[in-house]
Amino acid sequence: MSRPNIPNLRTWPRNLSTSQNGGLSTSIYGGMSTSQYGGASTSQYGGLSTSQYGGMSTSQYGGLSTSQYGGLSTAQYGGLSTAQYGGLSTAQYGGLSAAEGGGMSTSSTNIYRSNIPPWPYYLRELETRGYGWASEMIRQYLPDFLWPVNYFRVRR
């Protein structure tokens, strides 16, 4: 079984690679890029956008949506799913996997992509919305510099 290609689902790099196009890269198309369509952009289709398809959107396909494929969905492929390809899966290609293709990978190839906002923002939203259990699970794998308490303190 392979991850489906879902029309209209916008995704951004969300692994731990700092290389170009990596999840922690600020270069164009990187997961932390603030340029148009970037993983940390607030413009339409950006990873921090609240508009439809954005990483901070609660509408269908949004990074904070509870519907299928949403970042707050526990259904297969959802951000809170522990099933294969799910955001909380430690299996290869899962959000918590350190293997190539996983969300905790530092590899510059086969980069994990997701519709969730950048990790620090996602954790903060999980905690705010009552998903503390998921935030705690992610913290077991995510480097502490990306935890909201550390990430946002540095950026003030």
Give tens-digit pLDDT for 66-91. 999 999 999 999 999 999 999 999 99
Residue type at position 18 = T
H or E element, residue 12: strand 12-13
pLDDT tops 90 at residue 101: yes
In a domain, 3, yes or no: no
Asked whether the predicted pLDDT for residue 156 surpasses 90, the reply is no
Task: Say if 135 falls within a structural domain.
Answer: no
26 inside domain: yes
In a domain, 130, yes or no: no
Q: What pLDDT score does 70 carry?
A: 96
| 134 neighbors 73 (Cβ within 8 angstroms) | no
Calpha distance 26→111 (Å, rounded) = 15
pTM strictly above 0.85: yes
- Residue-range definition of the domain harbouring residue 85: 9-118
Residues comprising the chain, all counted? 156
Q: What are the backbone dihedrals phi and psi of residue 149, each rounded to the nearest 5 degrees, phi first?
A: -60, -30
Is 156 within a domain?
no
Say if 54 falls within a structural domain. yes
Mean pLDDT over each residue of the chain, to the nearest integer:
95
Q: Which residues contact 32 (CB under 8 A, 6 or more apart)?
A: 23, 24, 25, 26, 38, 39, 40, 118
